[in-house]
Structure 1
Amino acid sequence: MADATFKSFKEFYPYYLAEHSDRTCRRLHFIGSFLGLVCLSAAIVTLNPWFVLAGLVQGYAFAWVGHFFFEKNKPATFKYPRYSFIGDWVMFKDMLTGRIAF
């Protein structure tokens, strides 16, 4: 299992946040996640599954641009895919609620 280094998501999340210390990277993650939600909504409304694929592409494209050009690190998705996916949404919520600076 790729997430074996961490025993829980609670243990993983501080590492995840450290990998997203650049504000532009976090903003790009937020935009990508928001567009992913828009695409998911479009898929539900139109019953067109291609919007789900478009949402995944949008989400990861924005996040990876943030990592490669601003954070200058490798996305956690490559090493911890499950925890990283959860981390994206927890960070999105934390930014939306003001817990993390947007």
Structure 2
Amino acid sequence: MAERFGSFAEFWPFYLREHARPATRAVHVAGTWAGAALVLAAVLAGPWWLAVLAPVIGYGCAWISHMAIERNRPATFTYPAWSLLGDLRMAWLAATGRLGAELRRQGL
């Protein structure tokens, strides 16, 4: 990954390109929502270890989808904070039905 980004706005189109296949996005979104649900469950009712399990599930799904489906290197290793923000934004756009429009807006 030779590109360097100065802002999340610059990173976002790259992030979407790295998730070009619908199956990759689906696994990412599922992992992000599963991780968020585990954090919520830990905060509201559960044992603390649910919160520890959240990134294992979230990143595990993401990394597996990059290896098995997209066949590229996860951006998490170079841009950890922006990658997490990208995961959250993509999951939110998918949940609100706006991901397709955003992909089209970015030319994907």
Give 1:13's aligned residue: 12
Instruction: Name structure 1 gaps, 5 residues minimum.
Output: none
Distance in 1, matches of 2:97 and 2:46, equals: 33
Letter paired with 2:27: L
Distance in 2, matches of 1:6 and 1:56, equals: 24
Give 1:71's aligned residue: 70
Identity of aligned residues (%): 39
Normalised by the size of structure 1, how large is the TM-score? 0.89
Give 2:105's aligned residue: none
Distance in 1, matches of 2:40 and 2:81, equals: 22
Instruction: Name structure 2 gaps, 5 residues minimum.
Output: 101-108
More relative contact order, 1 or 2 (CA 8 Å, 6+ apart)? 1
1:49-100 residue CA offsets vs partner (Å, 9 max, x unmatched) = 2111111111011111110000000100011111101000011111112222
1:16-60 residue CA offsets vs partner (Å, 9 max, x unmatched) = 000000111100001101111110111112352211111111101
Distance in 1, matches of 2:81 and 2:44, equals: 27
The 5 Å alignment of 1:32-47 reads: 32-46=31-45
1:82 aligns with 2:81: yes
- Give the CA RMSD over aligned residues: 1.4
Letter paired with 2:10: E
1:93 aligns with 2:73: no
Q: Secondary structure at the match of 2:20?
A: coil
